[in-house]
Amino acid sequence: GQSLEQPSEVTAVEGAIVQINCTYQTSGFYGLSWYQQHDGGAPTFLSYNALDGLEETGRFSSFLSRSDSYGYLLLQELQMKDSASYFCAVNTGFQKLVFGTGTRLLVSP
Amino acid sequence: DTAVSQTPKYLVTQMGNDKSIKCEQNLGHDTMYWYKQDSKKFLKIMFSYNNKELIINETVPNRFSPKSPDKAHLNLHINSLELGDSAVYFCASSQEPTSYEQYFGPGTRLTVT
C-alpha cells in the first residue's frame, strides 16, 4: 500500500516558525510536493523536492531526505493568512500524485 | 483569467439522481484530473486524462463516468447518486501526467440527501 503521514494539527503564533512533517511509504518515488488549502478553497502548489536537501521559496522552505522517506515544510514569520491545511504529495512516477493526510495549521495572534 | 474552472460550485440532490460536473482549463495543459475530497479532507485521485485519453482510473465505481471532449475540458457524470458520494470534487490540470505541480479548480461541493 501507499501511505503519507502528517500530524493532524499544528498551532503557532504570529511571527513564529513552524515545521510540518511528512513521512511516506510509496511504491515509487520521484519527488515530494507541498500544497496549501484554505478552508473552502482549492489546493495550491507551494514547493517540490526531487533531491535531498532544502528548497527555499520566500517564507516557505521544504526539505527532503530520501533515505529516511521523510520531508518537511518550514514556514517562517508566520502570518494569520497562513492558517490553512497543508498537504504533502508524492510523485510516484505512475502518472499521479498521492496526497498525505493533511495538517491543519492554526496561527493565533 | 480563471485557470481551472468548475460548474456548479454547489450541488444538492437526492439519492438515486444523476448529475454532472463540468471542468475547463485555459492553461493549455495536456493532462486533467478529478479528485474527491471527503469530510476528513483526504484528497484522492479518481481519474486522469492525457490528451483526451483516460490514463488513470482509481477503482472508482462505474457509476462515475468521466468524459473529455477535448483536452481543455473534463466532465464528470455520476449516476444513481448515493449518500457516500457527498464530498468536494476537484478538477485539476498539469502540463504532463508526471507533473508534480497541478492546478486545481475551485471545487464542487456535492451533497446527496
Q: Report pLDDT digits (tens) over A94-107.
A: 778 899 999 999 99
pLDDT for A38: 98
- Whether chain B has a CB inside 8 Å of the CB on A42: the answer is yes
Confidence class for position B7, pLDDT limits 50, 70, 90 = very high
CB within 8 Å: B100 and A91? yes
Is A51 touching B (CB cutoff 8 A)?
no
Q: Tell me, what's the pLDDT at A10?
A: 97
Q: What is the mean pLDDT of residues A31-40?
A: 96
Q: Above 80 in pLDDT, residue A1?
A: no
- Contact between B100 and A44 using a beta-carbon 8 Å cutoff: no
Q: Which of B50, B55, B102 sits opposite A97 (nearest CB)?
A: B102
Q: Do A102 and B42 touch (CB under 8 A)?
A: yes
Tell me the chain A residues in contact with residue B102 when contact means C-beta distances shorter than 8 Å.
43, 45, 97
pLDDT in tens, B62-79: 999 999 999 999 999 999
∠ CA(B73), CA(B74), CA(B80), 5° rounding?
A: 145
B58 falls in which pLDDT band (50, 70, 90)? confident
Instruction: Check whether the bond before B8 is cis (ω within 30° of 0).
Output: yes
Query: Which residues from B are below 8 Å from A95, CB to CB?
Result: 48, 50, 55-56, 97-98
Residue B111 clears pLDDT 90, i.e. is over it: yes
By the 8 A CB rule, do A37 and A20 touch?
A: no
**Chain B residues with CB-CB distance to A98 below 8 A:** 45
pLDDT of B34 over the 80 cut = yes
Of the candidates B69, B70, B89, the residue with the CA atom closest to the CA atom of residue B21: B89
CB crowding A53-71: b at 16 or more within 10 Å, else e: eebeeeebbbbbebeebeb
Closest residue to B48, CB basis, from A43, A87, A96: A96
The C-alpha torsion from B17 through B73 and B98 to B51, rounded to 10°, is 120
- What is the average per-residue pLDDT within B1-20? 94
Exposure letters A14-42 (e unless 16+ CB within 10 A, then b): eeeebebbbbbebeebebbbbbbbeeeeb
Q: Is there a contact between A48 and B90 if contact means CB atoms under 8 Å apart?
A: no
B chain contacts of residue A99, beta-carbon cutoff 8 Å: 42-44
Asked if A18 is an interface residue toward chain B (Cβ–Cβ < 8 A), one would say no
The rounded percent of chain B whose pLDDT value lies above 70 is: 99
Q: For residue B96, is pLDDT > 90? A: no
B72 class by beta-carbon count within 10 Å (0-12 exposed, 13-18 middle, 19+ buried): middle
For residue B1, pLDDT over 80 is answered with no
Give pLDDT tens digits for A37-85.
Answer: 999 999 999 999 999 999 998 999 999 999 999 999 999 999 999 999 9
Predicted confidence at residue B85, as pLDDT, reads 96
The pLDDT of residue A16 is 97
pLDDT reading at B59 higher than 80: no
User: A43 and B100: CB-CB below 8 Å?
Assistant: no
Q: Across residues A18-24, what is the average pLDDT?
A: 97
The nearest alpha carbon in chain B to A39 belongs to B41
